[in-house]
Structure 1
């Protein structure tokens, strides 16, 4: 219950620390969170917050990037969850002009969950990268 409250109140440092402890101990979520394990709860809570921060034009870092190795690697989650992380990282990279990074994350998002809705962004990245590579280097 305390861990849930920490995430609800956006106290992620303490929430993540408590979550790690609970996962190590094999604890389960309270009954009202039917069929959700701690990893799923934490991953969902952080990505929902990250999208809200992004929408409000605030940075979801460092939590967004720090969670990626857990959600797409260590933890067993439904593919939609890590797909959302890659999608948001890709969107942010695209806006920052980091097209190859954006393309990598958007393609991974789509690989994990084909219905992620990244087709237009991937196409834009590929076209912009092709244009960059075709342009002569100016010195």
Structure 2
């Protein structure tokens, strides 16, 4: 004969199991509906002819609308493919939220998620390309490129296996950045510190080794001349 206490425990367990199953069904259905809505919103982006208008719509409407969905996905610690999360990661680069873009990109790499089907590059290459393009624009305007440049450059140097030309571009920019004159041009003669010159030399040499057509040879050849001039006490 089943005791009243055991019957009560069994009923409680059955009730909890049904509740969990119902919650899972609700969550699955909810995500399915959000994905349908998300796909429709993505298609609506094509109504904007100007790229700037698409970016504005992403920043002001779509990212605020779906960000909580992506954040909930990350907080749950799930590893299934979530098109809302991966697409929003791309859009974070578009709207200039590099802090979130890089953090989510690194998370996508950690979770071994594929990039959206319309993107042919993997996550490291996509991130490297976009952050370098951003750093080049910001440097040309005289703006600060930290901490995002160094954060990604550390990955380029130590963790990511990128195409040689992509790596070469990063090392070239890093070397040229140390050699900038007042006009932002790479000019060894404008640098009065031997340690900085040697760092730039090592970076540009690495760029040349990765891809010898990267175009750093002329600047690279002028660095030893500048170092020798400083050692000799000359200001050439």
Q: TM-score, normalised by structure 2?
A: 0.54
Query: Does residue 23 of structure 1 match 2:112?
Result: no
Q: What value does the CA root-mean-square deviation take over the aligned residues?
A: 1.5
Give the gaps of 5 or more residues in structure 2: 1-86, 182-190
User: What number of residue pairs does the alignment pair up?
Assistant: 135
1:94 to 149, 162, 179: 179
- TM-fit CA distance, 1:99: 1.2
| Separation (CA, whole Å) in 1 of partners of 2:145 and 2:118 | 28
Quick check: 1:64–1:85 contact (8 Å CA) kept in 2?
Answer: no
- TM-fit CA distance, 1:127: 0.9
| Separation (CA, whole Å) in 2 of partners of 1:103 and 1:28 | 37
Q: TM-score, normalised by structure 1?
A: 0.89
Quick check: 2:208–2:214 contact (8 Å CA) kept in 1?
Answer: yes
Residues 28-53 of structure 1: CA deviation (Å, up to 9, x unaligned) = 1111112x111110111100111111
Query: Does residue 53 of structure 1 match 2:151?
Result: no
Quick check: 2:172–2:203 contact (8 Å CA) kept in 1?
Answer: yes
The farther-off stretch of 40-49 and 98-107 is 98-107
Residues 99-136 of structure 1: CA deviation (Å, up to 9, x unaligned) = 11111111111111111100121122111011112338
Greater RCO, CA 8 A, separation 6+: 1
Give the gaps of 5 or more residues in structure 1: none
Match of 1:81 in 2: 166
Equivalent residue runs for 1:113-128 within 5 Å = 113-128=211-226
Match of 1:39 in 2: 124
